[in-house]
Amino acid sequence: MNQDYIQPNPWSILEEGFNPNHIKSSESIFSLGNAVMGQRASFEEKYSGNTFQGSYIAGIYYPDKTRVGWWKNGYPKYFAKVLNAPSWIGINVIINNEELDLNACVNVKNFKRELNMKEGILYRSFSATLHNGIEIAVKSTRFLSLAFDELGAIKFEVTPINQDATISFITYLDSGIKNQDSNWDDQFWDTKKVSIENNQAHIEANTLKTFFFVNTFMENKTFLNGKEFQIPPETNSTQTYAGLSYTNKTSKGETFSVQKLGGYTTSLNHDSEKLISAAKNTLKTANALGFEKLKKTQLKAWEEIWRHSDITIEGDIKAQQGIRFSIFQLNQTYLGKDSRLNIGPKGFTGEKYGGSTYWDTEAYCIPFYMATKNKFVARNLLEYRYRQLDKAIENATKLGFTNGAALFPMVTMNGEECHNEWEITFEEIHRNGAIAFAIFNYVRYTNDYSYIPEKGLEVLIAIARFWQQRTNFSDAKNKYVILGVTGPNEYENNVNNNWYTNYIAKWCINYAIEQINHIKQYYEKDFVRIMHKAKLSEAEIKKWKLVADNLYFPYDENKKVFLQQEGFLDKELIPVKDLNKSQRPINQKWSWDRILRSAYIKQADVLQGFYFFEDHFTTEELQRHFDFYEPFTVHESSLSPCVHAIQAAKLGRMEQAYQFYLRTSRLDLNDYNHEVEEGCHITSMAGTWMSIVEGFGGMRIKENMLHFSPKIPEQWISYSFKINFRGQVIQVYVTKECCSFELHGNTPLEIVVHEKTVTLLPKEKITV
């Protein structure tokens, strides 16, 4: 059963009524992040039921020693993991000697959780009756500040309802934290010092092996009926714990509350000796502002984000909630300020997927960031890979490649490969293609060519080298071939001539050559520097070209389709619709062996190529391939429905496109994959955005111009989105009858709507 307990609402994620079975799902869905740190939405107070606590700090990781059944040469020794960090949110609550624990109360009433996406604030309220007969009303308000990104704030309020009560708040920091997915049950954190000073506490700890130094801090204030009311705390500490306890005899109807400011200062951004003083400075500024003003800065910061990126949908509240949830979570995960950071498939909502960076970033996330922020954000994402080029070359060298060929990792934190299943680590090499494609896509969208001579070309050369070396000449075919790969469809391993991989390999080589020629002509100084650094000769480029011009592509003359890989047509071709529902999802119901032999496709593979290179094919070819492959696609990767939504919309199959849209946009809210407890699918949320903007809106960049061909699902009255195109914001508004465009900028802009050129003038609305 898919879950359906999240209440539809345009701006909020809402849960009403307390259900212990929803706790872990809600901890994922209601997660908070400010792109520098994030946390699952665990309760502040003790919860003895089933829970999965998680706090994460961007860029702080631990290399967990690889654990595999059978060691294969070339495996990475470590798997760098996003680390579950020390927790600062804890506030245990004691009422007349009984600890508040929703899993143990006599009853819980009016439980409500709201993640207000407009504000970036998590609210929770309930009333509970304890075994000692006391009934209390509780409210908590929590956010991770965007303005002060090392800081979070919590206000926790308790009101005894039926009698006076002695209430204690024990606010604490805890560094005795482990990852649930630790390979060897190792300790990841080494706590150095726990210190308490008045209402403040600090825990200094460092990660073992990677030596990131982190100071976790908190400072509290207590209030009675909203007025500050100082209570000297009792203190309690252990080697990994700092607790401050505040007790007050509270009369029936009065509200006793604690305000807790907390967060992290880390050696990523400060001298490791100065983490406590940096925390004190932040706390001083935050305390001077106070909770309400901090909250106001939060509202303002989110208002600014929404001003550039909101999408409105009229007439379909679930679709509206889904797209806002996606935009919200993407912004909680990454804001593009730091090129050392990236976007993990689970963001800050869980541990699964270990390291942070996958091809998801280049293939799915960059379009979202390019169009909703300024170009520097996407550029930082490109630079992330540039910074890791040496490691990618090292990675390829370990596998036997030479001469500066680079294989970027399938999964990484710091540039080292940290995936350890041979069929993915060694075979899923198409990821290199997405990294080159993102450079092309960035230049196509932003028109900022400077990235290529400055950094991009070195990456393109190293990738082209890899592809040339990864091919071999087949005498039998009289063509170059790429053997033993896994394409985007991970339900096939060790296949020969995966069409998508071969296609992107050829494209990468040709694109690299094109850019070398361009830079030779127009950026002479850079050309000399790069050629010297890369030691690239004309003879080597010739070898690349020979491969690109003679690469093999499996094709079936009868069906007139490119084959996903050699031998695809030998499979038993039973469409997914004829599979018994009880067999789905196949990744949970079938053995791996059976999946590999089947024709079922996890996610867009050939169609991924048609998505990237749409212009290389006619609509008729797209339709033929879509009709051939989609029926075998089980969409068991979160990245699958969005590509299909875009293509279905392009083919005018709006009902199908709409169904794919709902699947991608409500994947986590409705838990379609039965795994939201482990965390949300952050990177596929960028695909949700693409489904609207590129799918329904039909946005493309062609010949240096912005094109639209808006369509609207039957179920919607209207929708509207904004994109930042080369420094100007364009608002697109689509109804069933027409579409209009408004330019928020100063320079007139020619765009193409349904293949007709239209000139947008500043602040003028044009209806087509």
Catalytic residues: 490
**One-letter amino acid for residue 644 of the chain:** H
Question: How many residues belong to the site for ligand BGC (CB under 6 A)?
Answer: 12
Stretch that binds ligand BGC, among 3-11, 352-360, 648-656, 688-696 (CB under 6 A): 352-360
Nearest Cα to 349, choosing from 638, 550, 572, 546?
Answer: 638
Measured from the CB atom, the residue of 359 and 467 that comes closer to ligand BGC is: 359
Cα angle for residues 155, 327, 384 (degrees, 5° grid)? 100
Nearest Cα to 36, choosing from 473, 358, 333, 385?
Answer: 333
Tokens 């946390």 -> residue = 39
Exposed / middle / buried, residue 704 (Cβ in 10 Å: 0-12, 13-18, 19+): exposed
639 binds ligand BGC (CB under 6 A): yes
Tell me the residue nearest to ligand BGC as measured from the CB. Answer: 345
* Closest CB 359 distance from ligand BGC, rounded Å: 6
Measured from the CB atom, the residue of 63 and 354 that comes closer to ligand BGC is: 354
Secondary structure (H, E, C), 683-707: HHHHHHHHHHHHHHCCCEEECCEEE
Exposed / middle / buried, residue 362 (Cβ in 10 Å: 0-12, 13-18, 19+): buried
* Closest CB 640 distance from ligand BGC, rounded Å: 8
Tokens 């947008």 -> residue = 760
Tell me the C-alpha distance between 720 and 311, whole Å.
6
* Closest CB 413 distance from ligand BGC, rounded Å: 14
Measured from the CB atom, the residue of 23 and 639 that comes closer to ligand BGC is: 639
Measured from the CB atom, the residue of 120 and 354 that comes closer to ligand BGC is: 354
Measured from the CB atom, the residue of 209 and 352 that comes closer to ligand BGC is: 352
Tell me the C-alpha distance between 565 and 502, whole Å.
10
* Closest CB 318 distance from ligand BGC, rounded Å: 24
Nearest Cα to 586, choosing from 570, 302, 597, 198?
Answer: 597
* Closest CB 438 distance from ligand BGC, rounded Å: 14
Q: Can you say how many angstroms the Cα of residue 686 is from the centroid of all Cα atoms in its chain? A: 8
Measured from the CB atom, the residue of 160 and 679 that comes closer to ligand BGC is: 679
Measured from the CB atom, the residue of 38 and 345 that comes closer to ligand BGC is: 345
Interactions with ligand BGC, residue window 57-116 (CB under 6 A): none
683 binds ligand BGC (CB under 6 A): yes
* Closest CB 641 distance from ligand BGC, rounded Å: 13
Tell me the C-alpha distance between 655 and 764, whole Å.
33
Interactions with ligand BGC, residue window 264-303 (CB under 6 A): none
Measured from the CB atom, the residue of 29 and 173 that comes closer to ligand BGC is: 29
490 binds ligand BGC (CB under 6 A): yes
**One-letter amino acid for residue 458 of the chain:** E
Query: What residues form DSSP beta bridges with 354?
Result: none
Measured from the CB atom, the residue of 145 and 412 that comes closer to ligand BGC is: 412
Nearest Cα to 260, choosing from 167, 143, 126?
Answer: 143
* Closest CB 631 distance from ligand BGC, rounded Å: 19
Tell me the C-alpha distance between 692 and 687, whole Å.
9
Interactions with ligand BGC, residue window 183-242 (CB under 6 A): none
Exposed / middle / buried, residue 565 (Cβ in 10 Å: 0-12, 13-18, 19+): buried
* DSSP symbols for 284-314: HHHHHHHHHHHHHHHHHHHHHHHHHH-EEEE
Structure tokens at 639: 């990245």
Tell me the C-alpha distance between 230 and 236, whole Å.
19
* Closest CB 417 distance from ligand BGC, rounded Å: 14
CB 263 within 8 A of CB 200: no
* Closest CB 469 distance from ligand BGC, rounded Å: 24
Tokens 């509270």 -> residue = 250
Interactions with ligand BGC, residue window 577-606 (CB under 6 A): 602-603
> Out of 140, 637, 647, 720, which residue is the one contacting ligand BGC (CB under 6 A)?
637
676 binds ligand BGC (CB under 6 A): no
R_g of the chain, CA atoms, integer Å: 27
Measured from the CB atom, the residue of 430 and 470 that comes closer to ligand BGC is: 430
Compute how many other C-beta atoms are within 10 angstroms of the C-beta atom of residue 303.
Answer: 13
698 binds ligand BGC (CB under 6 A): no
* Closest CB 260 distance from ligand BGC, rounded Å: 34
206 sits in which H/E element: strand 200-207
CB 100 within 8 A of CB 94: yes
Interactions with ligand BGC, residue window 500-539 (CB under 6 A): none
Q: Can you say how many angstroms the Cα of residue 48 is from the centroid of all Cα atoms in its chain? A: 30
Tell me the C-alpha distance between 155 and 80, whole Å.
35
| Helix 654-665, helix 317-333: angle, nearest 10 | 50
Tell me the C-alpha distance between 448 and 745, whole Å.
18
Measured from the CB atom, the residue of 63 and 679 that comes closer to ligand BGC is: 679
Q: What is the dihedral of CA 222, 224, 228, 230, to 10 degrees?
A: -50
Interactions with ligand BGC, residue window 353-392 (CB under 6 A): 353, 358-360
* Closest CB 671 distance from ligand BGC, rounded Å: 16
Strand 705-708 with 749-753, pairing: parallel
Measured from the CB atom, the residue of 639 and 645 that comes closer to ligand BGC is: 639
* Closest CB 602 distance from ligand BGC, rounded Å: 6
Residues that bind ligand BGC (CB under 6 A): 345, 353, 358-360, 488, 490, 602-603, 637, 639, 683
